[in-house]
Structure 1
Amino acid sequence: MPKKTIKRFLPDHQKIKSNKHLQIFGDLLNNGNLWHLNRRSVAKAFAVGLFFAFIPVPFQMVLAAGVAIIVHSNLPLSIALVWITNPLTMPAIFYCCYVVGTWILGSSKQEFVFEANWQWVVNSLSTIGPSFLLGCIVLATVFACLGYFGILGLWRYSVNKEWKKRQDR
């Protein structure tokens, strides 16, 4: 069942509550519904986490936590899914975002070499920025929808399978 599988990989909720960056949410973190695993909260958590994983902003986890609180999704899962874009996967994912953006805009791909400084970021916003940002928004939306409906379908399949097993016994 997805609930048991997900529960094994989630961090402890006390550890998340004590995170210094999440203290801005104060008593909102005491809402018990943010910590329960059910079909709707997990599906919403996948949507929130996957959406913010593709958005290239600092403090993605804090933004995901804020939206998770607003839409009553599972908070630990929303935060954990943001880490799909980590330092190892980020270059490939963001390059795919750029490629999708150039395809949608119909522009040609421009050669660029990444430099880890603020001046490169500012200069790139005018050259590759529009394609990259559009690709990020599109892929964030697509993967959020796929995650939401995929979890709903997987959860329903799993429950039906368990019911069938129970009936056969």
Structure 2
Amino acid sequence: MPKKTIKRFMPEPQKIKSNKHLRIFGDLLHNGNLWHLNRRSVAKAFAVGLFFAFIPVPFQMVLAAGVAIIVHSNLPLSVALVWITNPLTMPAIFYFCYLLGTWILGAPEQNFAFEASWQWVLESISTIGPSFFLGCGILAIFFSVLGYFSIHLLWRHSVNKEWKKRKNR
């Protein structure tokens, strides 16, 4: 059942409430609905988390937490799913975003060498930026919608399977 599987991997509420970056939400974090695991809250959490995983901005977790509070999704899951793009996976995912953007815009691929500096970022916004941001936006929307509906279908399938087991007993 998805609920049991998700519950095993979820961080503890106290760990998230004590995160120094999430303190800006104050008492909003004490809303019990942000910690429930049900089909709707988990599906919304997948949509929020996957969306912000593909948005290349700093503090993705804080943005995901803010939107999770607004849409009443499961907060820990929304924040945890942002880590799909971590330092190991980020280069490959964002390069694919760039390739998708160049394909959609019909722009030629440009050779570039990544540098971890603000100067490089500012210079490359004008060259590879449009393709990169378009690809990120499209994949963010695509995977958030895919995640939302996949969780609904998976949850429904799991519940139907449990009902059939119960009926057969």
TM-score by length of 1: 0.99
Aligned-partner residue type, residue 151 of structure 1: I
Matched, 1:150 2:150: yes
Measure the CA separation in 2 of the matches of 1:101 and 1:69.
31
Structure 2 residue runs of 5 or longer lacking an equivalent are none
Matched, 1:32 2:7: no
Residue 149 of structure 1 deviates from its aligned partner by 0.2
Aligned-partner residue type, residue 146 of structure 2: L
Residue 99 of structure 1 deviates from its aligned partner by 0.5
Residue 168 of structure 1 deviates from its aligned partner by 0.7
Structure 1 residue runs of 5 or longer lacking an equivalent are none
Aligned pairs for 1:116-155 (under 5 A) are 116-155=116-155
Residue 11 of structure 1 deviates from its aligned partner by 0.5
Measure the CA separation in 2 of the matches of 1:49 and 1:160.
26
Q: Which 4+ stretches in 1 moved above 6 angstroms?
A: none
Provide the residue aligned with 2:62 in structure 1.
Answer: 62
Residue 5 of structure 1 deviates from its aligned partner by 0.2
Measure the CA separation in 2 of the matches of 1:29 and 1:116.
34
Measure the CA separation in 2 of the matches of 1:31 and 1:103.
44
TM-score by length of 2: 0.99
Superposition CA RMSD, Å: 0.4
Measure the CA separation in 2 of the matches of 1:43 and 1:108.
37
Measure the CA separation in 1 of the matches of 2:57 and 2:135.
14
Residue 64 of structure 1 deviates from its aligned partner by 0.1
Write out per-residue CA displacement over residues 116-139 of structure 1, whole angstroms, 9 at most, x where no aligned residue. Answer: 111110010000000000000000
Residue 159 of structure 1 deviates from its aligned partner by 0.2
